[in-house]
Structure 1
């Protein structure tokens, strides 16, 4: 079994889901007392979001690169960023280490291709929806990607940062996100990417008719495939 390196803390709710699901996945695949080999480094979310608000992306890249180097020194065989938004600096992080980075966008693109989805909608933070760093990487080898109209970005971003990263799951927010998903389906999306770990706490497949692609779940599955190959 390979050792999985995780860079987390963006938010701790996201890191919790990654760690839990990796353990559950190994238990399901191997049984007994099996658990994954994991090295986890977490950053201060307040520090990182302050840098994000001030668009100091080079500093974010340096911070996450240093965390990645620590994970590598601790024995990780490959690396995962437990975040979608901060994949914006994934190239800088990958260049700082000698172990491979399992890029979330590549995993998602593979899942969409396997499902035969040609057009998919993406829900995430304002940065991830507005900046093409993530969407373009998916589209390179996968489906066309659309995002909600800009009028929806501010409240969706607020739901993530003011509710979900604190573990608050609000029914009214769920209903609003489900209504938005229905709008995106009407706009031609054959599926919807839950492009933020915390959104998977809010919306589940039972809430929607349109196929959902929970990015964290897919990322964890790909990591287990790699670690247990």
Structure 2
């Protein structure tokens, strides 16, 4: 079993979901008392969030690149960035380490392709929905068309992530608003919807809707477990 490196804390609410999913995945595969071999560096999200708001992605990339180097030095053999949004600075992180980075968009797109999905809706932070670091990867590398909500809906999604989910709050009114947005994307021809922020699965799950949902945390962890256990 190879050691999985996890760059977490963005937010810690979703990082604990990663820890659970990685360990459950290894246990399901190997049984008994088996659990995942994991190295975790958890950053202070307040520092990252401030840089996001300032648009200082260079500084954010430098901070996370340094943290990623610490993960590698601690013995990790691959790296997961436990957040969708900060994959914006994935290139800077990759340049700072020698171990492979398992990209969250790739893990998601690979499953979409297996399932025959060619047009997908995307929920996430404003940065993930409006900038092209995520959508272009799905479109250019995998041929999957991405549909995003309108500006009012994007603001609602972003606000709920930062003001509620990252604070550990799960509100029923917000769940209902998200479900209406998911239905709207489906009506626009999306065959499925990506939960493209690692906290969103705290709020909505497949039991809440008939629209197929793709939980990026679960898919990212699944890819990492397969990588860790590969011969």
TM range (shorter): over 0.9
**TM-score normalized by structure 1?**
0.98
2:217 aligned partner: 216
| Aligned CA-pair RMSD | 0.7
> Do residues 79 (structure 1) and 92 (structure 2) align?
no
Q: 1:27 offset after TM fit, Å?
A: 1.3
For the residues of structure 1 that align with 2:28 and 2:109, how far apart are their CA atoms?
A: 25
1:121 aligned partner: 121
Contact 1:109 1:139 (C-alpha < 8 Å) held by counterparts: no
- Give every structure 1 segment of 4 or more consecutive aligned residues whose post-TM-superposition deviation is greater than 6 Å: none
Residues 146-174 of structure 1: CA distance to partner in whole angstroms, max 9, x if unpaired? 10011111111110011111111111110
Q: 1:141 offset after TM fit, Å?
A: 2.7
**Structure 1 unaligned regions, length at least 5:** none
Q: 1:222 offset after TM fit, Å?
A: 0.4
Residues 5-25 of structure 1: CA distance to partner in whole angstroms, max 9, x if unpaired? 010010001111001111111
For the residues of structure 1 that align with 2:88 and 2:35, how far apart are their CA atoms?
A: 30
> Do residues 158 (structure 1) and 159 (structure 2) align?
yes
For the residues of structure 2 that align with 1:140 and 1:104, how far apart are their CA atoms?
A: 15
2:207 aligned partner: 206
Residues 9-53 of structure 1: CA distance to partner in whole angstroms, max 9, x if unpaired? 100011110011111111111111101110000111001100111
**Structure 2 unaligned regions, length at least 5:** none
- Matched length: 229
Residues 67-121 of structure 1: CA distance to partner in whole angstroms, max 9, x if unpaired? 1100111111100000000100000000100001001111111111000011000
**TM-score normalized by structure 2?**
0.98
Give matches, 1:102-181, under 5 Å: 102-142=102-142, 143-181=144-182
1:9 aligned partner: 9
Q: Secondary structure at the match of 2:210?
A: coil
